[in-house]
Amino acid sequence: MNEAKFLGKPTEYPKHYTPEVLVAVPRQVNRQEYGLRENNLPFTGYDVWHAYEVSFLTGKGLPVTGLLKLVYPASSPYLVESKSLKLYLNSFNMERFGNNAKEASETVLNIISQDLERVLKTNVDIHFFQKSPEQYFDFSEFGILEEIAEIEKLTFSEYREAPHLLKPDNQQTSNVLKAGTHLLRSNCKVTFQPDWGSAYIYINGTHIPEKTGLLKYLVSIRNENHFHEEICEMIYQRLWDRFSPDQLMVACIYTRRGGIDICPVRASHPELLPINLITPYKLTEKLLRQ
């Protein structure tokens, strides 16, 4: 597997700029399992990455550090493998660019954008933050499932993805459900290391999921072995197949690992996408474990 080129293996960090370490992973391999076709995807969306350990030098040797935000579309044929991106970004650490921090930043951002677009075969929007800007948050209206009153009465016993747990709410008083959980956990498909995160779901339709069943389903992903983007698309497709909604949005906000967090989001309609999350120049408020 190309995605296993660096994952799970001792790797020496590049000492100089090394674009060839970037690894592109075809999306279609995993999508076939859920009947998703590249030319007819049932969603629009983006993969949003925050890289917290970006640094390089000016021409005079002054370090420049900050947070890099990357946004690229879910329609791209490839996703970038996370460890390869970490190695790539660290390859800038001792390189010198420009006469000052501004020139250095502009040069490095241009290089990163070109390299990623070449590897991923898509447009990549990036922004570099050198100080904490105003914070934004897209999910303040989403109720947290594990905070429902009956939580202590529920029994959880399934920890491999169990779509049968998704049941319609026969007592629904609204056609809309905005729900989230901070109990999301899955595992890397190569190293099997745990990936922690939060999931937010917006669904609008004649039939919406019952909350306790939805929570049990999301908990059942705990021992699944997939990349973050694949988990998001799996949840989306299960909900789409089970409830045939008019509108659907799924966002997975994962905890950073190795200095990088990945936040994929998929939606049936562009207007449902969390606007602040997918905007490169806006830095969203971090969740407790992000």
pLDDT (tens, 9 = 90+) of the chain, 290 residues, equals 565 454 545 567 799 999 999 999 999 988 998 999 888 999 999 999 999 999 999 999 999 999 999 999 999 999 999 999 999 999 999 999 999 999 999 999 999 999 999 999 999 999 999 988 888 999 999 999 999 999 999 999 999 999 999 999 998 889 999 999 999 999 999 889 999 999 999 999 999 999 999 999 999 999 999 999 999 999 999 999 999 999 999 999 999 988 999 999 999 999 999 999 999 999 999 998 88
Which residue, among 153, 144, 178, has the nearest Cα to 287 in the 3D structure?
144
Which entry of 47, 188, 232, 261 is annotated as an active-site residue? 188
What is the distance between the alpha carbons of residues 1 and 25, in angstroms, rounded to a whole number?
9
Q: In a 10 Å sphere around its CB, with 0-12 CB exposed, 13-18 middle and 19+ buried, how is residue 84 labelled?
A: buried
Six token digits for residue 41: 């995807």
CATH of 2-129, one of 3.40.50.300, 3.50.40.10, 3.30.1130.10, 3.40.190.10: 3.30.1130.10
Domain 139-284 in this protein, CATH class: alpha beta
Which entry of 138, 195, 252, 261 is annotated as an active-site residue? 195
106 dihedral zone (left: phi>0; alpha: psi -120 to 50; beta): alpha
Residue ranges of the domains in the chain?
A: 2-129, 139-284
- Active site (annotated) includes residue 195: yes
Phi and psi of 254, rounded to 5°?
A: -90, 150
pTM summary value: 0.92
